[in-house]
């Protein structure tokens, strides 16, 4: 009997090797991710992401990418890009999805498709300063996955739960992060 080869496109062996290597080299595990933002006009800005620091040295993405953000027309803006708060959903969706693929690969589960819908609820009376009891950000985010695979639903749920448990973006959203803002 031959085992079907599971291939979700994730090189799990490389990740397991990295885990072994970094166990003895905690300083190489210190990463700094970076972005540079330039105001354009009104609420429109462009943010560039290109280089970062990790494994003890400067690293570069294959290409530098620029992201437009703006407010929508119903806020009397020009809608030259998605709103800043929607970028949070992009980060969460992609982090959990990459995790699902990696965990499934590690557990020998072949995926055919992984789709998710995200909804973030926000009461804009917070950002408008109408009611100081209303927070500025999301009250609540709901992520719904639809995954096509031969694995039983229970196994798929366990894969999604493990992805959540190891997700950098899920951690940032569900737990407080210290942010310092300075003017030079």
Determine, following the binding rule CB under 8 A, whether residue 109 of this chain makes contact with a second copy. Answer: no
CB 147, min distance to a second copy, A? 6
**30 CB-near residues (< 8 Å, 6+ apart):** 53, 54
In contact, 148 and 176? CB cutoff 8 Å:
no
Nearest to 105 by CA among 38, 151, 54: 151
Determine, following the binding rule CB under 8 A, whether residue 45 of this chain makes contact with a second copy. Answer: yes
Q: Which residue's CB is nearer to a second copy, number 91 or number 107?
A: 91
Q: Which residue's CB is nearer to a second copy, number 2 or number 180?
A: 180
Q: Which residue's CB is nearer to a second copy, number 1 or number 121?
A: 121
Instruction: Quote the CA–CA distance of 50 and 4 in Å, as a whole number.
Output: 39
Determine, following the binding rule CB under 8 A, whether residue 55 of this chain makes contact with a second copy. Answer: yes
Query: 1, 2, 39, 133: which one contacts a second copy (CB under 8 A)?
Result: 39
Determine, following the binding rule CB under 8 A, whether residue 30 of this chain makes contact with a second copy. Answer: yes
CA 106 to each of CA 7, 95, 128, 165: distance values in angstroms, whole numbers, following the listed order: 10, 17, 46, 15
Determine, following the binding rule CB under 8 A, whether residue 49 of this chain makes contact with a second copy. Answer: yes
Query: 2, 5, 6, 11: which one contacts a second copy (CB under 8 A)?
Result: 11
Site for a second copy in 123-162 (CB under 8 A): 123-130, 135-147, 153, 156-157, 160-161
44: left (phi over 0), alpha (psi -120 to 50) or beta: beta
Backbone angles phi, psi at 55, to 5 degrees: 50, 35
CB 137, min distance to a second copy, A? 4
Instruction: Quote the CA–CA distance of 160 and 123 in Å, as a whole number.
Output: 29
Site for a second copy in 82-101 (CB under 8 A): 82-98, 100-101
């Amino acid at each position: 009997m031959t085992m079907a080869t599971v291939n979700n496109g994730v090189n799990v062996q490389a990740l397991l090797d990295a885990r072994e290597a970094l166990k003895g080299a905690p300083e190489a595990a210190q990463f700094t991710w970076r972005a540079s933002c330039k105001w354009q006009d009104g609420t429109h800005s462009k943010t560039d992401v290109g280089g970062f620091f990790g494994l003890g040295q400067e690293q570069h993405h294959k290409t530098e990418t620029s992201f437009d953000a703006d407010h929508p027309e119903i806020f009397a803006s020009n809608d030259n890009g998605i709103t800043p708060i929607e970028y949070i959903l992009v980060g969460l969706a992609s982090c959990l999805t990459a995790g699902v693929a990696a965990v499934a690969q590690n557990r020998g589960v072949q995926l055919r498709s992984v789709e998710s819908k995200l909804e973030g609820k926000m009461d804009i009376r917070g950002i408008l300063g109408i009611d100081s009891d209303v927070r500025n950000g999301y009250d609540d985010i709901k992520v719904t996955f639809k995954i096509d695979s031969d694995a039983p639903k229970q196994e798929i749920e366990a894969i999604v739960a493990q992805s959540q448990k190891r997700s950098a973006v899920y951690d940032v959203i569900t737990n407080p992060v210290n942010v310092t803002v300075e003017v030079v």
